[in-house]
Structure 1
Amino acid sequence: MTNDAWTEIPDQRYRRLWDEFDQRFQFKPSIYPKDWPSIAEPRGSVTLDLAGIFQPDHFEAGCRRVDEVVLASLQRVFDEQTALLALDWQHPAYEFRPHRHTGAFTWPESPLSPFPDGDYHIFLTEDMDQGTFGHPWEHTLCVWGDDLVSDLVPELGLPVKRSRR
């Protein structure tokens, strides 16, 4: 898929990016709580509790709100030329330009969203110094990088599950 906001990353780069992510964050996917968190959470990161959103009465509206707030934060924190990496475990990866994204994160216009609604969803800078890691089974969103933490965490207003500050 390619449009103004999303460009699919070719296979060779996809493998390199995932290798780098796996190594840097010691990614260990698991549905078992004994193995969580699934990444080595970066210093200064804040992990937010999404569990309340996963309740049937709150899911659709909660997903939409998280996606909207994350997008607005990405647009405030990064300039218009910034292309982020959007990784979806065992699915295609994309370069994502937040300033070019309009509307909701819905298929087919958006291949994935910041909210981890069934898989690990990761949005991060090319140098991997700032980003979000959504864990679908732990029901968390880990946010790292000083600028992103300062802007996004207060805006979401979700309970903190873990804080590395």
Structure 2
Amino acid sequence: MGATRSRYFITYDVSLYFGESEDLDAYDDLEEKAVLVFQKCTSKDEYIYALDWQHECYWINPNLYIQQNEFDEWTVPIFPNGDYYFFLHKDFQWEYLGHLWERTITIFGKELIKGFEKHHPRMFQKILRLG
């Protein structure tokens, strides 16, 4: 992709994965790749913010077990299936935003962009915006 050098954010259109998606493994792929990238962007003992804008928010360590709910999803899901979800570096060096109404995922920060370029989720096929 080569966007790392000059990009500060990338917004991916993930609208194909709302409703009855034929590629159900894409959700697991997104979780697996996100964990890998978050691990690469943090130290072993570092926590990041996991925010669900109208619910409980958490500190999570991507190098440890990420708590799941009764639907086997992360407590703050990585895919914006019902709300806005944010994963932020504690010093705000990077951010992952799942946007429900736009049906997008935006990656902010060079380090996170580089990580997702290396560990590219199947969902990240259609770029909507670059900045």
TM over 0.5: yes
- Provide structure 1 residue ranges, at least 5 long, that are not aligned to the other structure: 1-42
Higher relative contact order (CA 8 A, sep 6+): 2
Structure 2 partner of 1:53: 17
| Structure with larger Rg | 1
Say if 2:116 is the partner of 1:116. no
Match of 1:92 among 56, 72, 75: 56
Higher strand proportion, which one?
2
Q: Distance in 1 between matches of 2:111 and 2:27?
A: 23
Say if 2:63 is the partner of 1:106. no
Deviation per CA, 1:50-105: give whole Å up to 9, x if none. 11212403364332221221111111221111100000011001001000026xx7
Structure 2 partner of 1:158: 125
Runs of 4+ in 1 over 6 A off after TM superposition: none
For 1:23-102, what aligned pairs fall within 5 Å after superposition? 44-58=8-22, 60-101=24-65
Offset at 1:116? 0.9
CA RMSD of aligned residues (A): 2.1
Match of 1:143 among 107, 110, 114: 107
- Provide structure 2 residue ranges, at least 5 long, that are not aligned to the other structure: 1-6
What TM-score do the two structures reach when normalised by structure 2? Answer: 0.80
Deviation per CA, 1:103-128: give whole Å up to 9, x if none. xx731573122111100010001222
Percent identity between the aligned chains? 25
